[in-house]
Chain A
Amino acid sequence: MAGLRGAAAIVGVADEVSPTGELDTTGHALEAAVIGQALEDAGLTLADVDGICHTASSMDMAEYLGIHPTFTDSTMTGGSSFEVHAEHAAAAIAAGLCEVVVSVYAATPRSDRRLGRSGRRGPVDNSNPLFEWELPFGVRLPMAPYAMAATRHMAEFGTTSEQLAQIAVSTRAWAGLNPRARYREPITVDDVLASRPECSPLHLLDCCLVTDGAGAFVMTTAERARSLAKPPVYVLGAGTCHDHSIISQMPDLTTTPGVISGARAMAMAGITPGDVDLLMGYDSFTITALLHLEDLGFCAKGEGGPFVEDGKTGPGGSLPMNTNGGGLSYTHPGMYGMFLIVEAVKQLRGEADARQLESPEIAVAHGSGIVLSCMSTLVLGTEATL
């Protein structure tokens, strides 16, 4: 599966977050701001853009910007949407449909809540099985489905709350090195276990944040990338798979479709998990990150608990994971997958300041969407990996 390897590169990234968790702008204005920053990062302008990706409406976004793209993608797979956008953009660029693609995301749930801008849930849709077969039982979204995955993993494999907590602890240690992170003070396993129970077995500190945030990436051909402002970060491999939409339809709550997306992306890239210098693995909850470690092949199924126990995913560990502080401590506006890509690119370029890894060459951004439903894996590499 040679596929897309090396055909396209990410040449610009930007994200907007705040340690307060709130941003001053919202909506298309915030999206436009972060697009502008990502284009500036790349040394390109809006006039260069001929492809647009947006999770709500790529048409509305393009109209707002006043551009007339020849590649358009409104794919919405929840938090993994931006890995899917990157996959589609690389394919479109490789096929010659377009040359410069922008994907953008902005959401401001924290300030929306404070300012009373939050919308109400939409009308009951009798053709949506979520309304008929899950919500009547009091399913709290998105937390409860992940809690049920954790319960099942514990029952099948003996995984403990302490092991899950260690993921939050290691991730917080990374956040301590990132001045833009929402929470930076170190925490302990006991702190996580003592935080209030939400949906058992998950505690508050097993859960991602609710913050404002925005991000964008710019992708172009490998050839054009080499003439731009920053070192290109090449798309080496990409893969996507979903095996359910609502949690009661998930075939096995301990195994995500990341098994398939990850294997496809790594085969396309020609790598194995041992080649990965940085894993940006979507951590909506501690259990989410643990499932990624198993399903991407960093450890065997069922061994995620013992694998993380020694803190190897934290600073100085053998498998750096979520070096920006993750959804657990950096930011989580709702669909966090964009921030996985932004951090992976910054690390591969050597722009990660105090948390910078030593000369990383290969990073994996692994997005997880809805309720463990859609996994999308992106393998990114420096010039040296081509």
Chain B
Amino acid sequence: MSAATPPSLPLRFEPPIGPASGPFWEATRRSQLVLPWCVDCGRPFFYPREVCPMCFGSAIEWRPATGNGVVYSSSIEHRPPPVGFSMGKPFVLALVELEEGVRLMTNVVGCPPEDVEVGMEVSVTWEALSDGRQLPLFEPAPGGSAR
């Protein structure tokens, strides 16, 4: 995991901090990916909520995730805006399924866009945001291979 150099201008639309996601974003400052788990049913869920979307339980605890997962689906954005984080270059949008079983939207970086495939093993990497938080992106897992 490596943190990018903070840019002088914001390169992305930076995420707001939702009412239930403070611990998620705080952990990103330490390059740590954490997930909310429902104490009642013992399962992780995503995105963070005040109640569990599987059992309506309201006792939530935060646990570290391994940061490993596989690409569930992806798309190459061929017409990115001329400004913004991609600087006009095609980029990969992906849904990644973490080992813990939750799925999240992200970008796959660190390889040519056309190399990204469904089932590809990926690991988290971090991109700095302007306020010290970091955004979880994913890159091909070291030694990983397509399923």
Task: Tell me if B55 is interfacial: C-beta within 8 Å of chain A.
Answer: no
Q: B133 → chain A, closest Cβ, in Å?
A: 11
Identify which of residues 133-180 in chain A touch chain B, using a CB-to-CB cut-off of 8 Å. Answer: 133-140, 144, 147-149, 151-152, 155-156
Q: List 25 A-B contacts (CB under 8 A).
A: A125-B16, A131-B13, A131-B16, A132-B18, A133-B105, A134-B105, A136-B12, A136-B14, A136-B135, A137-B93, A138-B12, A138-B85, A138-B86, A138-B91, A138-B107, A144-B75, A144-B77, A148-B73, A151-B75, A197-B76, A198-B78, A199-B76, A200-B75, A248-B103, A248-B105
Task: Tell me if B142 is interfacial: C-beta within 8 Å of chain A.
Answer: no
What total count of A-B pairs have CB within 8 Å? 98
Contact of A152 among B72, B77, B106, B135 (CB under 8 A): B72
Q: Which residues of A contact B (CB under 8 A)?
A: 124-127, 129, 131-140, 144, 147-149, 151-152, 155-156, 196-202, 247-249, 253
Identify which of residues 103-131 in chain B touch chain A, using a CB-to-CB cut-off of 8 Å. Answer: 103-107, 117-119
Q: How far is the CA of A148 from the CA of B95 in the complex (A)?
A: 8
Contact of A197 among B12, B78, B93, B104 (CB under 8 A): B78
For B86, give the chain A residue with the smallest CB separation. Answer: A138
For A156, give the chain B residue with the smallest CB separation. Answer: B118
Q: Are B118 and A155 in contact (CB under 8 A)?
A: yes
Tell me if B's interface is mostly helix, strand, loop or mixed.
loop
Q: Are A248 and B78 in contact (CB under 8 A)?
A: no
Q: Are A138 and B93 in contact (CB under 8 A)?
A: yes
Q: Are B72 and A253 in contact (CB under 8 A)?
A: yes
Contact of A138 among B16, B17, B74, B77 (CB under 8 A): B77
Q: Are B104 and A133 in contact (CB under 8 A)?
A: yes
Q: How far is the CA of A133 from the CA of B103 in the complex (A)?
A: 11
Q: Note all chain A residues with C-beta closer than 8 A to B47.
A: 129, 132-133, 248-249
Chain B interface bracket (under 10, 10 to 19, 20 to 34, 35 or more): 20 to 34
Q: Are A196 and B21 in contact (CB under 8 A)?
A: no
Q: How far is the CA of A133 from the CA of B46 in the complex (A)?
A: 10
Contact of B18 among A129, A134, A200, A253 (CB under 8 A): A129
For A129, give the chain B residue with the smallest CB separation. Answer: B47
Q: A323 → chain B, closest Cβ, in Å?
A: 30
Task: Tell me if B7 is interfacial: C-beta within 8 Å of chain A.
Answer: no
Task: Tell me if B15 is interfacial: C-beta within 8 Å of chain A.
Answer: yes
Contact of B73 among A152, A202, A249 (CB under 8 A): A152
Q: Are A248 and B95 in contact (CB under 8 A)?
A: yes
Task: Tell me if B80 is interfacial: C-beta within 8 Å of chain A.
Answer: yes
Task: Tell me if B79 is interfacial: C-beta within 8 Å of chain A.
Answer: yes
For A201, give the chain B residue with the smallest CB separation. Answer: B75
For A251, give the chain B residue with the smallest CB separation. Answer: B103
Q: Are B104 and A199 in contact (CB under 8 A)?
A: no
Would you list the 4 A-B pairs with minimal beta carbon distance, nearest first? Answer: A126-B16, A155-B118, A147-B75, A152-B73
Identify which of residues 66-95 in chain B touch chain A, using a CB-to-CB cut-off of 8 Å. Answer: 72-80, 84-86, 91, 93, 95
Q: Are A200 and B15 in contact (CB under 8 A)?
A: no
Contacts A155-B118, A199-B78 known; 5 new A-B pairs at CB < 8 A: A126-B16, A136-B15, A138-B84, A138-B107, A155-B117
